[in-house]
Structure 1
Amino acid sequence: MMAERAALYARVSTARQEEEQTVASQIAALHKAAAELGLQVPPQHCYVDEGFSGTRLDRPAFDAMRDAAADGLLNVVLVFAPDRLARNYVHQQVVLEELAARGVRVHFVERPIGEKAEDKLLVQMQGVIAEYERAKIIERTRRGRLHKVRTGQTPPFSRPPYGYRLVTSPDGRQKTVVLHEEEAARVRDMYRWVLEEGLSARAVARRLTAQGVRPRRAARWTGASVRHLLVNPAFTGTAVYNRLMAAVPVRPRKAAALRKVAKSSYLLRPREQWQTWPIPPLVDEATQAAVKLQLARNKVLSSRNVRYSYLLRMLVVCGQCGLRMSCFRRTQSNGRGDYHYYGCSRGPEDSGRAARCKAQYLRAEALDATVWSAVCQWLREPRILVEEVASWQERREGEEASARERARLESTCRNLEEAGGAPGGRLPAGRPAGGRVEGAARATGGCP
């Protein structure tokens, strides 16, 4: 009798769970259950998503597991509990039906399910309860946190802004916001540089980097981080809670990229929903207002090209680094005219990256003319636009499939490295030579 080809899937939702190693306990329980069932789980079929929410289906390891099932490589998948598979009841049923159609059964370790109608009903009820439980936990947590901030029982942030720190009382019940003297001195220097020297946010970030001053979490300062810090109302003595709410980005930088959090953008809540908390002021309101005015003046008078009209301003994306390309003007030395470009030459103070992007500039006149000609042609012949949209959709689906395949290959490589490599260099059982993994490895240049 041929041995069953087994796989395991584990998932944790947050970075905190990753730090607490709760995914390791799931994997240990899954391996123990596999041993009790007499199943062997090869390293390349251990699928783990760390930091991905169960409310969405586009998870790298999860997609890789479904692809392996579609390729006929699996007979059984071990999952700790239904909510690890998906938090949404509808998603659970879609995945379970998909795997069943592939001849793959799902074994839940926490509560094994049989083939009886009562067992299937129990799985469905667990899915509904898990979805309801998640909604209630989110709502209770939100209301509880809001009540504690409103009544002064807890500060409005778990990580205080740069320049502040939290001090816990001896009994551990009360936290107080106090100034971090060293960081507060740097913040005052930033305000002074802007007001007295007229430095822009980018120039402040460049000076901080030159002085060897690092922010708390990032590798280096950027103009955006400095600007966000200088206009923070907390520095005037008023911390604000419930000011922003998470939202799905309308124009994501990389639409085809897999994101751990679907709602990776923010929207401003109505002002009447804000909750304020008094903290020690670092600067007065007049100083911060003057800094805001100076930053706005710097933006108008910036040497960067904002006074010329470009058809594709902030619409061209660099194919090398993925950032949006800026507009540039270069004056000829003989004074005969100017050249206009789209370019990605953002330094560390703009992108937060160590090196500047080396992509070539694009002549604005040539690119604008090409795009405008295409738009005019589409308007004259709508059929061409329909074909272009269909081609774009097909290409995007191909990019998403490639991203999933690459994630699966990287996961397989990590598992093989941890296990010391596959014995004899053989392919997994049931995998034909020259299959999708080898083809994808050739396309992506092998394991990184």
Structure 2
Amino acid sequence: MAGIAVRVFPGEANGRWMMRKAVLYARVSGDDRGTDGRNLDSQLEMCRAYAQERDYIIKVELAEDDRGASGAEIDLPQLNRVRDMAHAGEFEVLVVRELDRLSRNLAKQLIVEQELKRAGVDIEYVLGEYPDTPEGNLMKHVRATIAEFEREKIVERNTRGRRDMVRRGQIMLHGNEAPYGYQLSDDGTTLVESGPEARIVRLVFQWYTEGDETGKRLSSVGIAKRLTEMQVPTWMDLHRDSGGHKKRGYGEWSYATILKMLHSEVYIGTWHYGKHRPSGLNDRKDWVSMEVPSLISEETWEWAQKQSKKNRIMARRHTKTDYLLRCLLTCGRCGRSIGALTTRDGDKSYSYYMCYGRANHRLSPGDKCLLPYFRVDHVDAVVWEWVKSFLMDPKALIQGLEAQQKKTEESCHPARERLAAIEDLLADNHRQMERLVDLYLSGDFPREMLVEHKTRLEGIIEALEKERTNLVTRLEVQMITAEQVVTITDFARKIASGLDEAEKSFEARRRIIELLDVTGTLTEEDGDKVVYVQCVIGDKALSILPTFQNIVQT
């Protein structure tokens, strides 16, 4: 093997020589600052040099640009790919720039390390060497704890500083533009009225609460249509360089934009900071309010809220037709929900399932879904016949449940692997806690040092137990329990003899559909209308034919 450098694979007892295969992993997250030098290219360059020095065979370089998420996240596409490759035995070494590139959360970092270790993969850090010894693990935990503390301090310090600035009367837009109807003051400290847009805001509220020139009050849809006809530029039209994306054309308004404007408190002089977080809205008590010039009176704003509530109530449609699969269908073309409608032709009425993407008149022609309407009686009939086939055949019912359990078990395998890694880590940390008690009783170490180490271990154990609880809960929700199997089979036996009666009662059929958690997807294949239907005991593709025949496509 002249001219080729090789390294001994650690743990090879028979002395075989082989080169180690490595995966390089780099990551930037939402916690990283733009000036800290931790960009993806530099991380990969350092990892590449590290691997080449050790003559590793680089299988792949994975870059995780996840600046929209926290540095504590571990459920990420490239990191998940690392896990999959590790379980498949495709490499032996993961090379990472430093500890906090895996996660700035110590417990989650330990979970990743333990999961890869169980798959026979070593993790090597370019900046720091941590041997698998008690001392090496201690140093690694200390560094990881510091990284986690650093992340929390950065977030806390930045948040506190911004909130203090807002309380002192300094507007904080984070590089965004001012709300519609406003612009930044010359000194950049507050909002001031923007003439033309402010007049549009007042006009919107007037149309909604008082009416237009004819005295007719307009809905949010009507206002959007009127502004579009007038070709009034929207917020996105005025700020095309803001980085946002607008699907509609210039001067085209949506009813959602109008509703957002009608509910915004900024127009009565109260601007809020800290309303949103990545997972949704913060509690209102956590918002920081700042006074800005008002564009409308509080009375007008309150009247708009009452009118909005009234419009929602008046817009509700009380279902007068029986739709067996109401709210249980999705569109196979665009993924939107499927609605239902009934049309009348003289004394006759026809009911259809239709995609909201096609029926929504607010969408432009190019955005409309092309899924055709499905006759309700046709769809309901074939689905009900399929459900009856399970209920009337106990053997098929049991087979369906067993197949579904097997499918669910396979999908839960990665979560079970992670749960096993957490259990190993918990056992190891509990053993460390027991050793601390022995060291304390021996009196060989200062009490302060042992107390500090105990506090750190308790924090790790608490975080691991929380992660374990979340995983166990997720697995319990996904799995079909023995109790559910008994409930379904008992229910099937009880109603099998009375299916003829159930067919006469829509409520009874609907209860069966809900108990079996039946859902479906409407689509077209080769010109045929098809519903892909599934429930807790199986799934099939059913053709929708006028003769109500239930043809199973294989």
The letter for the 2-side match of 1:201 is S
Q: Does 1:288 align with 2:305?
A: no
Q: State the alpha-carbon separation in 2 of the partners of residues 305 and 95 from structure 1.
A: 50
Q: Post-superposition shift, 1:64?
A: 0.9
Give the structure 1 partner of residue 264 of structure 2. 232
Give the structure 2 partner of residue 356 of structure 1. 368
1:313-324 map, 5 Å? 314-324=327-337
Give the structure 2 partner of residue 135 of structure 1. 152
1:298-309 map, 5 Å? 298-302=311-315, 305=317, 308=320
Once the two structures are superposed, residues 3-28 of structure 1 have per-residue CA deviations (whole angstroms, 9 ceiling, x without a partner) of: 43222112222399689983333333
| Structure 1 stretch displaced more, 188-197 or 79-88 | 188-197
* Structure 1 residues 346 and 152: CA distance shift in structure 2, 3 A: farther
Query: In 2, are the aligned partners of 1:167 and 1:176 still within 8 Å (CA)?
Result: yes
Give the structure 1 partner of residue 109 of structure 2. 92
1:195-206 map, 5 Å? 195-196=211-212, 198-206=217-225
The letter for the 1-side match of 2:184 is L
Q: State the alpha-carbon separation in 1 of the partners of residues 334 and 401 from structure 2.
A: 29
1:152-171 map, 5 Å? 152-155=169-172, 159=176, 160-167=178-185, 169=187
Q: Post-superposition shift, 1:366?
A: 6.0
Query: In 1, are the aligned partners of 2:26 and 2:43 still within 8 Å (CA)?
Result: yes
The letter for the 1-side match of 2:294 is P
Q: How many residues align?
A: 373
Query: In 2, are the aligned partners of 1:206 and 1:349 still within 8 Å (CA)?
Result: no
Q: 1:343 aligns with which of 355, 364, 383?
A: 355
Once the two structures are superposed, residues 101-127 of structure 1 have per-residue CA deviations (whole angstroms, 9 ceiling, x without a partner) of: 333221212223334432222112222
Q: State the alpha-carbon separation in 1 of the partners of residues 379 and 360 from structure 2.
A: 27
1:107-186 map, 5 Å? 107-155=124-172, 159=176, 160-167=178-185, 169=187, 175-186=189-200
Q: State the alpha-carbon separation in 2 of the partners of residues 15 and 200 from structure 1.
A: 43
The letter for the 1-side match of 2:129 is P
Q: Does 1:34 align with 2:88?
A: no
Question: How high is the sequence identity, in percent, across the aligned residues?
Answer: 29
Q: State the alpha-carbon separation in 2 of the partners of residues 132 and 164 from structure 1.
A: 39
Which runs of no fewer than 5 residues in structure 1 stay unpaired?
247-262, 401-448
Q: Which of the pair has more CA radius of gyration?
A: 2
Once the two structures are superposed, residues 385-416 of structure 1 have per-residue CA deviations (whole angstroms, 9 ceiling, x without a partner) of: 9668737745866999xxxxxxxxxxxxxxxx
Q: Secondary structure at the match of 1:339?
A: strand
Give the structure 2 partner of residue 191 of structure 1. 205
| TM-score normalised per structure 1 | 0.67
Q: Secondary structure at the match of 2:79?
A: helix
Q: State the alpha-carbon separation in 1 of the partners of residues 148 and 97 from structure 2.
A: 17
Give the structure 1 partner of residue 448 of structure 2. none
Give the structure 1 partner of residue 119 of structure 2. 102
Once the two structures are superposed, residues 230-274 of structure 1 have per-residue CA deviations (whole angstroms, 9 ceiling, x without a partner) of: 210101111123445x4xxxxxxxxxxxxxxxx53335x25x544
The letter for the 2-side match of 1:332 is R
Q: Post-superposition shift, 1:343?
A: 2.6
Q: State the alpha-carbon separation in 2 of the partners of residues 31 and 207 from structure 1.
A: 59
Q: State the alpha-carbon separation in 2 of the partners of residues 123 and 225 from structure 1.
A: 50
Once the two structures are superposed, residues 43-65 of structure 1 have per-residue CA deviations (whole angstroms, 9 ceiling, x without a partner) of: x4334243343323221111111
Once the two structures are superposed, residues 295-350 of structure 1 have per-residue CA deviations (whole angstroms, 9 ceiling, x without a partner) of: 34443444x8455476665453333323333x342423334224253533357886
Q: Post-superposition shift, 1:153?
A: 3.9
* Structure 1 residues 61 and 157: CA distance shift in structure 2, 3 A: closer
* Structure 1 residues 362 and 11: CA distance shift in structure 2, 3 A: farther
* Structure 1 residues 12 and 391: CA distance shift in structure 2, 3 A: same
Q: State the alpha-carbon separation in 2 of the partners of residues 314 and 384 from structure 1.
A: 28
Q: State the alpha-carbon separation in 1 of the partners of residues 356 and 109 from structure 2.
A: 43
Once the two structures are superposed, residues 274-310 of structure 1 have per-residue CA deviations (whole angstroms, 9 ceiling, x without a partner) of: 43211122222233333334434443444x8455476
Query: In 1, are the aligned partners of 2:31 and 2:151 still within 8 Å (CA)?
Result: no
| Structure 1 stretch displaced more, 77-86 or 204-213 | 204-213
Q: Secondary structure at the match of 1:113?
A: coil
Query: In 2, are the aligned partners of 1:344 and 1:361 still within 8 Å (CA)?
Result: no
